[in-house]
Amino acid sequence: MRKVKLTDQSIEHLRAIETAMQDLPVLPAGEINNSDTLLLHIDIVEGFINRGALSSERVSALVPYVREINQKLDKTRKLFIRDEHPADACEFNAYPPHCIIDTGESELIPEIKAFVKNDDEVFFKNSTNVFHADGFTDWLNEAEVKTIVLVGDVTDICVIQAGLSIQTWYNEKNIPIRIICVVDAVETFHLPATNHDGDLMNLFALYNLQMNGIELVQSIV
């Protein structure tokens, strides 16, 4: 049986990936601030920001910058994804109970809710992957966007699943799409008890997104 292991060469490659991530480009807002761009907010809700079993100070630190991006991209289309579960959600077999209906944890935080113009911009998901949310792919089909900008949390679970699912969906249809992940606007939690090192998991997720054709930019200016 072949066992999973890290070699000295593995560590060298990890360092090389880390180094490459230190020199990401910035993206001028004017390049994408138009109606064929979608700004996709993943799970910027109370249960990951301010309270609950999966809330994180690392994630809450994103809020001022995500608010700034919304102000810069004032002409883009916007969607806001809310994680929301029944009390007996199957997902709780893998994660602690969180964002349960009527607890307030699934609410968008006030700083981001202020940018919601109508209910059609909000999608609810009962799994880590927004791609499976009711009506989401229908929206993509009708919207005919050319660029999708990803912001939110958490990088190695909900953000990466959204990014890869959307990218491969467009690939399957042979439709060109530009998907951009803004590194300063995504984050994951740190939980030593489960060996979930926030910096390491963030790095792995960003690298995986990049290797699958998703563009990484440090920030939007």
The token pair that represents 85 in the structure block? 């579960």
Residue of 92, 157, 168, 95 lying closest to 129 (CA atoms): 157
Encode pLDDT of 199-211 as tens digits: 999 999 999 999 9
User: Can you tell me the distance from the alpha carbon of 163 to that of 148, in angstroms, rounded to the nearest whole number?
Assistant: 9
Q: Which of 219, 184, 214 is nearest to 26 (CA)?
A: 219
Name the burial class of residue 184, with classes exposed (0-12), middle (13-18) and buried (19+) by CB atoms within 10 angstroms of its CB. Answer: middle
- CA dist., res. 124 & res. 83, Å (int): 6
Asked whether the predicted pLDDT for residue 3 surpasses 90, the reply is no
* Angle at alpha carbon of residue 146, lines to 170 and 30, rounded to 5°: 150
pLDDT in tens, 76-88: 999 999 999 999 9
pTM of the model: 0.96
Domain layout of the chain by residue ranges: 25-220
CATH fold for domain 25-220: Rossmann fold (3.40.50)
Q: What is the pLDDT of residue 173?
A: 97
Task: Judge contact between 58 and 187, C-beta under 8 A.
Answer: yes
- pLDDT per residue as tens digits for the range 132-191: 999 999 999 999 999 999 999 999 999 999 999 999 999 999 999 999 999 999 999 999
How far, in Å, CA of 205 to CA of 181, rounded?
Answer: 11
Q: What torsion do the CA atoms of 102, 106, 109, 112 make, to the nearest 10 degrees?
A: -130
Question: In the predicted model, what is the mean pLDDT of the chain?
Answer: 97
Confirm if 187 and 152 have CB atoms less than 8 A apart. Answer: no
Residue with tokens 């953000």: 159
pLDDT tens column, 45-56:
999 999 999 999
The answer to whether the CB of 122 falls within 8 A of the CB of 113 is no
